[in-house]
Amino acid sequence: MHDIEEFYLNMGPQHPSTHGVLKLVLKMDGEEVVEIKPEIGFLHRSLEKIAENRTYHQYIPYTDRLDYVTSMTSNLVYVTAVEKLAGIAVPRRAELIRIIMAELNRIASHLLWLGAISLETGATTPFLYVFREREYILDLFEMTCGARLTYNYMRIGGVSQDLPPGFREKAGDFLAYFRPCIKEYEDLLINNIIFQQRTRGIGVLPLDTAISYGVTGPSLRASGLRWDLRKNRPYSLYQEMEFEVPVRSSGDTLDRVLVRIEEMKQSCSIIEQAIEKLRKGEVRTPGISMNLRPPEGEVFVRTESPRGEIGCYIRSDGSPKPWRIKFRTPSFSHVSVLPHVLKGLLIADLVVAAGSFDIVLPETDR
Q: What residues make contact with other proteins under the rule CB under 8 A?
A: 40-41, 44, 46, 48-49, 52-55, 209, 211-214, 225, 227, 232-233, 291, 297-298, 300, 302, 309, 311, 313, 315, 320, 323-324, 326, 328, 332-333, 335-337, 340, 365-366
CA distances from 154 to 48, 130, 349 (A): 19, 26, 39
The DSSP output letter for 284 is B
Tell me if 98 sits within 8 A of 154, measured CB to CB.
yes
Q: By C-beta, is 175 or 288 nearer to other proteins?
A: 288
Q: By C-beta, is 60 or 264 nearer to other proteins?
A: 60
φ and ψ of 116, to 5 deg: -65, -45
Q: By C-beta, is 92 or 326 nearer to other proteins?
A: 326
Tell me if 140 sits within 8 A of 174, measured CB to CB.
yes
φ and ψ of 122, to 5 deg: 95, 5
Nearby residues of 67 by Cβ (< 8 Å), 6 or more positions away = 73, 74, 305, 307, 310, 329, 331, 360, 362, 363
As measured in angstroms, the least distance from the Cβ of 53 to other proteins is 5
Q: By C-beta, is 50 or 348 nearer to other proteins?
A: 50
Helix H or strand E encompassing 297: strand 297-304
Report angle CA 152, 149, 290 to the nearest 5 degrees.
Answer: 10
Tell me if 107 sits within 8 A of 170, measured CB to CB.
no
Q: By C-beta, is 167 or 323 nearer to other proteins?
A: 323
Q: By C-beta, is 188 or 211 nearer to other proteins?
A: 211
Q: By C-beta, is 88 or 225 nearer to other proteins?
A: 225
Q: By C-beta, is 115 or 308 nearer to other proteins?
A: 308
CA distances from 76 to 135, 169, 182, 198 (A): 22, 24, 26, 36
Distance CA(269)–CA(23), nearest Å, equals 38
Tell me if 145 sits within 8 A of 160, measured CB to CB.
yes
Q: By C-beta, is 125 or 212 nearer to other proteins?
A: 212
Helix/strand/coil for 346: strand
Distance CA(136)–CA(173), nearest Å, equals 10
Helices 253-277 and 92-120: crossing angle in degrees, nearest 10, is: 150
Distance CA(45)–CA(116), nearest Å, equals 25
Select from 202, 209, 218 the least CA-distant residue to 110. Answer: 218
